[in-house]
Structure 1
Amino acid sequence: MRLRTTRRKKVAAAALAVLTTVTISGCSKADREGADNAGGASVPAGASKADYQKAFADVEPIELDFQVASANPDAYSSMRDVEFAKSLEEWSDGKIKVKIHYAGSIAEPTETPDALVDGRLDLAHYYTTYEPDKMQAYVELSNSLSQVPSTPLIGGLVINAAYQDMAFDTPEVREEFESRGMTLLAPASSFGVTELTCRSERDSLKDFAKAQIRGNARAHETQVAALGGTISSVQLAEGYEAFQRGVLDCSLQAPATATSVGWLEVAPHVYFPREQGFAPGAGSLVAGAKWSELPLVAQQLMWDRLREYLSAELYGSLQSITDTAEVTAKNGGTLQYLDAESEAALTESKEDLLDEVAGSEVLDGKALNADVAESISTWTKTAKELGYTDDGGFEDFSTWYQGSADFNDRAYLQKFADRLFEETFLPERPE
């Protein structure tokens, strides 16, 4: 059986470091055998902005090119990425300058790894599931995460946490990034549960027969086939026109994606499963060749600012559900659950997906399925312990969701983001 890295055993020690008196200590690369950075000052986890700015006093200016997740500056993913970039500049006292490039402006999705290696980009949102043949272990993980129930709040929180948790804890996934010259910062930006968006109403399983349905994960081939549809390879940038022309009938993606590219104007009928989810087509926040040249304090700052990056990710995934309900209504559409027959077909396809994972040639799929189920259970319990509950469905989400619609007020979600950071990200912090 594949052995998981038991990260939680390291959490107590990492948390202890946060509680200690914050001091800045000098530490050279030579002092840390095998360290993948340019050395220099080290800042303990939990350091304040003032501590970081002091540590950067003698650091030479750093310039980073960052290609963000969306081509739309107003998209929630852009807001998340730009906030992250601005915080690096602020906390480094201006020593880190980040130049923002919107999606596709420097490198197309499948060109992003090469751009990170050759220096055109230093940070990027990489659409990981777009290259299933090169990221096979990551795809197997995505397939296995079809086990997450499709509920608005708990499902949205758990899909993100379990994905991040398992990506870090699966050696084969990490190796796929590392072998291509990428350093994982946030391995799985799922933007919540996956929805099915359609041009016209689909009230029964027969309504999906021969429908052209766009997918963004390999598992969608199996799930679309189970519904009787045909998988389509229409690119994200071409989706709006494809819906207009009738080339595309439906599409699978996160709610935030559909709202940011305007698809709900032409495909306003949105469906969610009840018992299990459509597999997520996640992307990853990654660093390129320049990562190893950065001073240790710069790497640590990037890592520590992920705490807020995670709450911004959760904000986008949940606020977009409210947006979806509003926009579909304006365009004569609906937001509802799949009918019972379609749900049953999707449930059966989940077992097929898990069987495919179990037979994986790149990792121990049976162990992965079990580990994913364990992670889902753990993060579900964590969410409930922190007071999150699904008090309704997708269609009336805005009436019972307690989070703020203000991007700058993420207190409701920050407590979950903090737990995710402390248990999953903090033990991976560069030291």
Structure 2
Amino acid sequence: MDTLAKLRAGQLAGHKRLDLSCGLTEFPTEIFQLADSLEILNLSGNALSSLPDDLHRLTHLRILFCSDNRFTELPECLGQCTQLSMIGFKANRIASVPGTSLPPQLRWLILTDNGIEHMPEELGQRPLLQKLMLAGNRLQQLPASLANCERLELIRLSANHLHEVPDWLLTLPGLSWLAYAGNPLREDASAHLSADNTPDIDWSQLELEQKLGEGASGIISRAQWSAPGQASRSVAVKLYKGSITSDGSPLNEMNACIAAGQHPNLIKVLGRVTGHPDNTAGLVMELIDPSFSNLAALPSFDTCSRDVYAATTRFSADSALRIARGVASAAGHLHAQGICHGDLYAHNILFNAQGDCLLGDFGAACFHAIDDSPHTRALQRIEVRAFGILLGELLERIDSGLSDQQRDRLQDLQQRCIQPDVLARPAFVDITRALG
């Protein structure tokens, strides 16, 4: 983290990125000293409520983060920043988003966890818009102009006041990752949980060991589970946080994990934590073998909606196809339960060298009706496009064992999965069959 003292002393001249989190109540004018170089400005975790009207003097500014501040309105000065493409104002007090606050090059907008009731029609006049994060607001509807955003690939609408997922949204040719849980919709998680047989596991039976990982929705730890009359066994325990994440509510994630049921390519849920001293919700899950690792890393600022693979990542044909088959089978299973994963990405897939894989992270999962209506088919085929992107990434990294004929057949399948006509994409049952 850069310091204000260094900035004021001129020690940061030429820097392309500046991070300041030091209780600021006003925008430091010394930042303009970096106008010839500054591309990324992070002012998150301060007490700011406004930005200077001449912010456009930062002519190279591409990315601006002002999360966890005190803004009540998205500043109109942002609209004058001609290179600004990524904006993050998570966890403020924003109730108003003027159309003039949206810059022309807008690609990635994060307004999670605010009090927004209305988004302007100008949002649909930003043709480069690719990611839109609006979870945890008070939206009752979306601007119809969003139907013009053909590059929009990811949208987070969870924990709002929406009464429907509009049909026009489901026709967007690029949409691949959609989350809408926690709205007053027909698709209600409680209907799917009525026959829940997940056993309760009392907190007193669990002894936490080392932390295995932490995400936006919770903390996963290795633990020993000592059930009455049984030998102790090693498990993983996920304790959920109560706050809204970029995907939505952690409790919706827990409900989806339970409702998903069992499948060889999903992490097995063993029980629900009860009796936690802080009433924290949690799940006990099967411990994953340490030979498994993430298939890829999260998207970067530059890739926006595409995962980042290590430069050395390569697969044999057998391994890549096993991964593809496993993920397609898991996604098809979820759809049969009335669940869309919502975040079908390589960074949410664990795999080993043999191609065994597990689809995890249900933070964006949503429930839908179990029928064959055009609405349900469209929701499912949006996820098929996400799989098509994944299949393309796997095919790019196969270095042996694939004949020209096999590659042509798989590339044809991949193109059918990502075609712009949403309802013309194949279902996962057809994809699984095509993968052999």
Kindly indicate which of the two structures has a greater share of residues assigned to helix: 1
TM-score, structure 2 as length reference: 0.25
